[in-house]
Amino acid sequence: MYGNAFYGGDPDYGSGVIFELSPPASSGGAWTQKVLYAFDSGSGMDGANPVGNLVFDAAGNLYGGTAGGGAGSIYCGESGCGVVFQLKPPAISGGSWTESVIYEFFTTGTTDGFGPSGVLLGPGGVLYGTTAYGGAAGVGTFFKLTPPLSSGMWAEKILYNFTGTSGDSRFPNALTAGKKGILYGTAGFGGSANDGTVFQLMPPTAGGTWTESVLYSFTGGSDGAAPPAGVVLDPAGNLFGTTSRGGTVPCAGAGCGTVYELSPPATSGGSWTETTLHDFAGGRDGFAPSAGNLLYTKGVLFGTTEGGGTTSNYGTVYRIVP
């Protein structure tokens, strides 16, 4: 398994790492962790603080995004506006992975996005992703990165600018690929109550543009508020995710968060149906889920919370069984 850590790598602080977890050789043994790459906590030119999902291409190269780092700008300050990076596997077994920055945000103009949330691999090696900030309205973008024909930087194109209006989303999270090229995502704010949304991005027909539509607007009540991460899909097309606030149990007056399901409409043009699968209760049950769900066999969901637990209040790993 492959993942990222927002911090770590440097003993004193660290700007994050990309790691690998290898399963044990025999049943019941320990998994082995290996850091594939540690981001430079000094210059930050290689990126800093990786976030969101990672993706492999057919050649075994690994791609992802960082919340900071890069060339930086007056707008983002010394921390930089974030990058999309590529990690090439070693040529020989046991060698080092090689990192290269393939795009630096907010270097192509004042309407570029910044703060990427991971990437998805599309046809022809194209990468798709979102930025939580920037764009024409300053509340996030949906972008495409096209690989160069030979050497050089990848070419970015903004496919949609989120508007943050009452019918749109603000500050989008990572995307998930569905059928027929449709992409699904969430946003921590925006929608009819400004408590976050689940949205879809429809690919264009010939000569057209991508179209964004909000599938559900959270109200901040029992249905939850502020989804912190993307969604997962089951074979029937249902979407599953979490909200970091809201629900029926209060946590500092804001709600402890929820696990939800969105079911597609029975007929074309109908509304999606939201169902709360679990209200976090704090304490041992946990609160404030910090990431989306992992869909397991037969609909079982796994995830994590930032707070709660038995003693330390450092969070939990949970399972939701249908």
pLDDT per position as a tens digit, 235-265: 999 999 999 999 998 887 789 999 999 999 9
Per-residue pLDDT band at 301 (split at 50, 70, 90) = very high
What is d(CA 20, CA 5) in angstroms, rounded to the nearest whole number?
A: 11
Q: Is a pLDDT exceeding 70 seen at residue 218? A: yes
State mean pLDDT over 18-33.
Answer: 92
- Contact between 225 and 217 (Cβ < 8 Å): no
Q: What is the pTM of this model?
A: 0.92
What is d(CA 132, CA 197) in angstroms, rounded to the nearest whole number?
A: 14
Among 293, 315, 303, 291, which residue's Cα sits nearest to residue 51?
291
Q: What is the pLDDT of residue 256?
A: 94
Q: What is the pLDDT of residue 110?
A: 79
What six digits make up the tokens of 215? 């599938």
Among 215, 225, 222, which residue's Cα sits nearest to residue 193?
225
Average pLDDT of the chain to the nearest whole number = 91
Percent of the chain at pLDDT exceeding 70: 98
Q: What is the pLDDT of residue 207?
A: 79
State mean pLDDT over 77-83.
Answer: 84
The Cβ of residue 312 has, within 10 Å, a number of other Cβ atoms equal to 8
Percent of the chain at pLDDT exceeding 90: 72
* Cα dihedral across residues 44, 128, 126, 136: positive or negative: negative
**DSSP line for 146-175:** E--SSSSPPEEEEEEE---STTSEEEEEEE
Q: Is a pLDDT exceeding 70 seen at residue 71? A: yes
Q: What angle do CA 38, 42, 48 make, to 5 degrees?
A: 50
Per-residue pLDDT band at 11 (split at 50, 70, 90) = low
